Amino acid sequence: MSDIGSTLRNRWVEIAWAVFALANLVVIVGLVRWETIPFHLIWVSLTLVFGFRIWGLRTTLIVLGVVMALTAAALTFTVVRGHEHPDELAEVPLMAAMFLAMVWHARRRQAAIEEARRLAETEHRLVEAQRDFISDASHELRTPITIARGHTELVRDAVDPGSQARADVDVVLDELGRLGRLSERLLLLASAEHPGLLSVAPVDVVALIEGMDRRWRGAAERAWSSRVDEPGTIRLDRERFELALDAVIENAVHATVAGDPIRIEAKADGRSLVVEVVDGGVGISDEQLDRVFDRFTRADADRARGGGGTGLGLPIARAIARAHGGELTASRGVGRGTAMRFLLPGFSPAPVVRVPDAALAP
């Protein structure tokens, strides 16, 4: 009984249509003057049901054969009784041909959808495999990099500070440091979409922007400026977001030379916060603007005057912004340079402190 009930629940559309079609056959036979309306209702309803279900080819042909036989029999009955002209029977193959044309288009569309779904699933598996590989590789690199760095530091301490060997060891240490940073960035990029990445808490916007401005003023000789249009708090993972903001500011530093302006600005946009980093560098081309957030994309030689990076900073910054439910976009600056714009939800403006009138009295 349970199997029968389950079948009825799964096939209620077909059952309802069968009852509807049989009722219209009865009308064709019983109300001969109205046979045209129920005849077409049967075929139109068949088309609608197929569009809703899209049966397999065998089932479709069986249903089509049954409908053709029953509607032809009903029309034949009206023709034999002299109520209709024999030419009316030509409508049966005509309606069947129209239905088959619709079946062909529906099945072709279904095949295209299945192919698109298959490709999407394949791409998803490839992305997951790539993410797992990056994560595993980053983890595996940590230990040998740490061991190599430790032994290299021992070698550095054992050689003469002024010798060529000491200079060579320093180069090795610098490269190991770059490799370690690359490993950490790869690991962060691989885990950027994981739910446990962020530890969100209210962060004071003024303290955030002033802290970034203070830190970078001592790191690069640029014409730094910062501004917060509206004080308040923003819910985010401060450590992760500062890492993203560092990547964007580092990109601006590489795009400029000493004396060029770099501005860090925060402003409210409804319940969201906009954080912009605008540099006065040489800017980037339209082609590079479209690819600037692709992994391992490097700016051209003119833009990377300060030395190239790994090509992972901006992709990581965007991944962190999206992990917060926000976005990071790039655009041309006004006149020259580039503007990087974070849009982050969860901003709460600072409450307005009202001073009592009595406190203002002399």
pLDDT tens-digit map of 232-280: 999 999 988 998 999 899 889 988 898 899 999 999 998 999 999 999 8
Q: Which domains does the chain have, with CATH numbers?
A: 2-84 (no CATH), 196-349 (3.30.565.10)
**Two tokens, residue 227:** 């501004």
Higher pLDDT, residue 311 or 90: 90
| Alpha-carbon distances of 78 from 27, 34, 209, 215, rounded to whole Å | 11, 11, 86, 93
Angle between helices 12-30 and 2-10 (to 10 degrees): 70
Separation between Cα atoms, residue 85 and residue 39, nearest integer Å: 15
Can you tell me which residue has the tokens 């990056």? 134
Contact of 284 with 358, CB cutoff 8 Å: no
pLDDT, tens digit, 9 for 90 and up, residues 154-204: 888 888 888 888 888 888 888 888 777 777 777 776 666 665 678 899 999
> 3-state class of 81 per DSSP?
coil
| Backbone dihedral angles phi then psi of residue 26, each to the nearest 5 degrees | -65, -40
Of 315, 330, 237, whose CA–CA distance to 284 is shortest?
A: 330
Q: What's the predicted TM-score (pTM) here?
A: 0.56
Q: According to the model, what pLDDT value does residue 310 have?
A: 59
Q: Is the pLDDT of residue 302 over 50?
A: no
Terminal Cα distance for the chain, rounded: 90
Separation between Cα atoms, residue 263 and residue 162, nearest integer Å: 41
pLDDT band at 305 (very low <50, low <70, confident <90, very high): very low
Contact of 156 with 173, CB cutoff 8 Å: yes
Higher pLDDT, residue 124 or 302: 124
Residues forming a β-bridge with 339: 278, 331
Taking every pair of Cα atoms in the chain, the longest distance, rounded to a whole number of angstroms, is 118
Q: Is the pLDDT of residue 307 over 60?
A: no
Q: Which residues contact 238 (CB under 8 A, 6 or more apart)?
A: 201, 203, 208
Contact of 309 with 240, CB cutoff 8 Å: no
Separation between Cα atoms, residue 231 and residue 234, nearest integer Å: 10
**Two tokens, residue 26:** 């009865």
Please work out, in degrees rounded to the nearest 5, the angle formed at the alpha carbon of residue 202 by the alpha carbons of 200 and 204.
130
State the CB neighbour count (10 A cutoff) for residue 236: 29
Residues forming a β-bridge with 347: 234
Contact of 277 with 212, CB cutoff 8 Å: no
Least confident of 28-32, 242-246, 352-356: 352-356
How much is the average pLDDT of 198-213?
Answer: 92
Of 322, 343, 306, whose CA–CA distance to 189 is shortest?
A: 322
Q: Is the pLDDT of residue 43 over 50?
A: yes
Q: According to the model, what pLDDT value does residue 191 have?
A: 67
Q: Is the pLDDT of residue 290 over 80?
A: no
Convert 303-321 to b/e letters by CB count within 10 Å (16 or more is b). Answer: beebeebbbbbbbbbbbbb
